[in-house]
Structure 1
Amino acid sequence: MTAFSPATAPLARDSTSPTHPIRVLVCDDNPQVLDVIGALLTSEDGFELVGVAMTTERALEHAAHSHPDVAIVDVSMPTMGGTFLARELRRRGLCAQVVALSGSDDHDTVLAMLDAGSCAYLLKSDAPTAIFDTLRRSMRGETVLAPRLTHELVDEMLKKRTVEQREHVALGHLQALVEGAFRDGNVLEIVGQPIFDLDRNRVVGVEALARFHFHAESSHAPDYWFNAAAQVGLQSELELLAVRRAITRLADLPEGAYLSINASPSTVSSPAFLELFSGATAARVVIEITEHTEVPDYLALRERLAPL
């Protein structure tokens, strides 16, 4: 199989970052954890450490005084526990967001902290710098989980929530998963499957195939990703990303070979799809309509593709 390397362009800095520092209260009964997180926050622009607390009582007192933007809460806080602290911080309106921190990936613990009002769950085994992205995303109202928890917890939550809650939680995590493919240039890779002409004994074309590399322990077939994108309204965006990546590899094809791409009728009919092709590019591309989606109007689709 002919391999295409994934795009390696650096990711742009997030333009939605707040202009004022994110004010953070750190709550953990381990002094070493407090020292490490405190040092990280004070060394990074855009963050302000407003205090630390080793007990739930002290954490509530400190939050009432400093009103942090985010409270990082250890799930094993002494006395009342992390779930109580998270719930009280949100109930009293003492901070905008709560980020859970734990050494355990136990599903019941994760669910308990999310139910208590946490918007994120970090593992202490994660890279220390992961805290910066988590804090920024939490301030944008996103739900953030350690990567290896995401897929497992979607199924776990679906079993424990009401029908209405299930829909909300599952869609939220699917959206976070799909959006990760747009943020991280290494998640989506385009590989090429040669199309061989036996009579002429040569490669006459290459079919572009999408492959996703999210996490070694939670890989899924391409259909899973595109179905997830469809459920959260991002199907065309993900397909367009794949087509755009495939087109950039035209120069890597054997001389005279064409590129075969596959997309849904709605994506192929979109103005954004047509804009991807110049005259020279279109001449070397074969467009296949996916068999997984019904074409509602063949004449309209043909007219839409006429400029190509």
Structure 2
Amino acid sequence: MAGVSHAVRVLIVDDDPLVRAGLSLMLDGANGIAVVAEAADGDEVPAAIDAHAPQIVLMDLRMPRLDGITAIHRLRRRQAPPEVIVLTTFDTDENVLRALRAGASGFLLKDTPPAQIVDAVRRVAAGDPILSPAITRRLMEKVATESGAYEQARQALAGLSPREHDVVLAIAQGLTNAEIAAELLMSVGTVKAHITHILTKLSLGNRTQIALLAHDAGLA
């Protein structure tokens, strides 16, 4: 493992030992990232988090005892949970939506180039969600056609201030905090404060869920 004092701490969860070994080798070789633990199933995640305090969890979806989506649901009920990036071979629309609605901050396929996986870990650790472009296009098309979600999303967003509404739109467009700050002429700290207030008002876990709600409402 790399030095972990100032590195992004990562937990790898996958039932395939070869996948875990490959990811660990790749990420531990990246500057500023340290793999602090591995788990072979979703039911091992709570103990690994308690023992190693990761900031990022790379989570497979299909595992023999506890699947990744259920594990994400359980994680989001913890106080100050780590961010989750789903890394899987299964990219069906249903899997993507279920994972993101459960609280995942990103969704990548296992054939994603190593440099992009490393970049995703760094971006999510910095507070920016990550989705592969192909998944994003399909996801937004599916969300736009879901029945019943439109009015619920509109009602949920109605309680936001105009400035918070602007931030929601920017998040839905995939902008980073720095890009939102430049677009809306505010500091990055102010952007982060707005996002915190939005998450609290909407009872959401992360900014990816904000983006999904905005798309449900037809705003992006």
1:151 counterpart SS class: helix
Give the match for residue 34 of structure 1.
20
Q: Deviations over 1:216-268 (max 9, x none)?
A: xxxxxxxxxxxxx9xxx959xxxxxxxxxxxxxxxxxxxxxxxxxxxxxxxxx
Give SS of 1:60's match: helix
The offset of 1:174, in angstroms, is: 4.7
Matched, 1:99 2:85: yes
In structure 1, distance between residues paired with 2:121 and 2:57: 10
Name the aligned partner's letter for residue 118 of structure 2: F
Correspondence for 1:60: 46
Distance 2:80 2:45 in 1: 10
Q: Runs in 1 of length 4+ with deviation above 4 angstroms?
A: none
In the other structure, the counterpart of 1:156 is 142
* Residue equivalent to 1:175: 173
**1:131 aligned counterpart, secondary structure:** helix
Structure 1 residues 234 and 21 mapped into 2: Cα distance closer, same or farther (>3 Å)?
same
Unaligned runs of 5+ in 1: 1-18, 184-228, 236-308
Give the whole-Å Cα distance in 1 for the aligned partners of 2:52 and 2:80: 9
- Contact 1:64/1:94 (8 A) holds in 2: no
**Segment of structure 1 superposing worse, 151-160 or 45-54:** 151-160
Q: Is the 8 A contact 1:23 1:68 kept in 2?
A: yes
Q: 1:145 to 1:172 in 2, by over 3 A?
A: farther
Change (3 A) 1:173 1:105: farther
Match of 1:82 among 64, 68, 88: 68
- TM score, norm. by length of structure 1: 0.48
Q: Is the 8 A contact 1:70 1:135 kept in 2?
A: yes
Q: CA deviation at 1:90?
A: 2.0
| TM-score normalised by the chain length of structure 2 | 0.66
Structure 1 residue aligned with 2:10: 24
Q: What's the offset of the Cα at 1:102?
A: 0.9
Paired amino acid for 1:175: Q
Query: Residue 117 in 1 paired to residue 103 in 2?
Result: yes
For 2:95 and 2:171, how far apart are their aligned partners in 1?
Answer: 18
Contact 1:150 1:173 survives alignment (8 Å): no
Q: CA deviation at 1:21?
A: 0.5
Residue by residue over 1:48-86, the C-alpha shift from the partner in whole angstroms, topping out at 9 and shown as x without a partner, is 111100012222211121111011110112212110111
Q: CA RMSD in A?
A: 3.1
Query: Which residue identity is paired with 1:42?
Result: D
* Equivalent residue, structure 1, for 2:203: none
Q: 1:98-247 counterparts in 2 under 5 A?
A: 98-160=84-146, 161-163=149-151, 165=153, 171=169, 174-176=172-174, 234=183
Which residues of structure 2 form unaligned runs of 5+?
158-164, 185-220
Structure with the larger helix share: 2
Quote the residue 2:32 is aligned against.
46
Higher share in strand: 1
Q: Percent identity?
A: 28
State how many pairs are aligned. 168
- 1:155 aligned partner, one-letter code: E
Q: Which has the higher contact order (CA 8 A, sep 6+)?
A: 2
